[in-house]
Amino acid sequence: MIKAYLNKNHIILKTSKGKVFQFAAGTAITDMLDDSPYAQFPKGKTKAAALLEQFYAAQDLSIPEQMALFAGIGFSVVIEESDGKAVPVITVKSAEELCALELITLMKSRKPLKRCEHCGEYFFPQGRSDAVYCDRIGADGFSCKKIGAHRQYRKNSRTNDVKAMYDKMTKHNRYLKNSGKISERDYDRWMASVSESYAAYKNGDISERTLMTRLSETLSPAGRSARRDISDYLL
């Protein structure tokens, strides 16, 4: 038998042998690993896992259907004295009840259920509710959160490199235009083209290579450019 004490969204479990587990609701449930509180119930972990699966699937169910998930679960609560206060203590008799306790606590604290963008598994964010990666450790020894952070960092630094190139090329061509080395008309046309391309790149519509090709276009030197577009005659 395990006693459970609730403190906001944290659950404190005390086994009859005096072992204590303390965790945020939604963290023990995620993997039900061997060193988790679920290991205290060697039998019946399957039932808990089944309840968890149903809960994941229940996100699209109506409220009565969601309520039906917990229909068979009834906790017994006793009052204990702790530091001169009367505190409610829940008796947890099975892994399934522990799972239900975690889920109910999560529902109460309105923690959203998310699907990790790296491993695709469900998780309950413990910090920011807009978190997109879970804390599971993959075969490579890194957590999804760590891999995600690294990927984002690489993406950002890549984006910064492109931005630096864009700034450098626009500055360079503006200098050429201001010093009369290229025509204002060519510069304006190029500028309109690259700013549109840069927006398209940021939007993911064109590749980095396409943007770079457009950025590095050599503009014709002023004076020597006798080439006139057909549109010049139409204007």
Minimum gap (Å) between residue 234 Cβ and Zn ion: 58
- Interaction of residue 144 with Zn ion, rule CB under 5 A: yes
Among 136, 146, 181, 185, binds Zn ion (CB under 5 A): 136
Q: 94 vs 121, which CB is nearer to Zn ion?
A: 121
Provide the CB-side half-sphere exposure for 53 (13 A, CA).
6
Q: Collapsing DSSP states into helix, strand and coil, what is residue 66?
A: helix
Q: 107 vs 117, which CB is nearer to Zn ion?
A: 117
Residue type for position 78: V
- Interaction of residue 194 with Zn ion, rule CB under 5 A: no
- Interaction of residue 131 with Zn ion, rule CB under 5 A: no
Cα–Cα distance, 66 to 180 (Å, whole number): 72
- Interaction of residue 214 with Zn ion, rule CB under 5 A: no
Minimum gap (Å) between residue 29 Cβ and Zn ion: 14
- Interaction of residue 13 with Zn ion, rule CB under 5 A: no
Minimum gap (Å) between residue 144 Cβ and Zn ion: 3
Q: How many CB atoms lie within 10 A of CB 38?
A: 22
Count how many residues are written for the chain.
Answer: 235
What proportions of the chain, in percent to the nearest 5, are helix, strand and coil?
Answer: 45, 15, 35
The span of 98-106, 134-142, 180-188, 189-197 binding Zn ion (CB under 5 A) equals: 134-142
According to CB under 5 A, which residues from 80 to 119 bind Zn ion?
116, 118-119
Q: 15 vs 126, which CB is nearer to Zn ion?
A: 126
Q: 4 vs 131, which CB is nearer to Zn ion?
A: 131
| 112 within 8 A of 130, measured Cβ to Cβ | no
Mind giving me the DSSP string for 152-195?
HHHHHHHHHHHHHHHHHHHHHHHHHHHTTSB-HHHHHHHHHHHH
The span of 68-76, 138-146, 190-198, 222-230 binding Zn ion (CB under 5 A) equals: 138-146
Q: How many CB atoms lie within 10 A of CB 93?
A: 13
- Interaction of residue 134 with Zn ion, rule CB under 5 A: yes
Minimum gap (Å) between residue 142 Cβ and Zn ion: 10
Q: 150 vs 174, which CB is nearer to Zn ion?
A: 150
Cα–Cα distance, 167 to 27 (Å, whole number): 45
φ, ψ at 87 (rounded to 5°): -120, 140
Binding site for Zn ion (CB under 5 A): 116, 118-119, 134, 136, 144
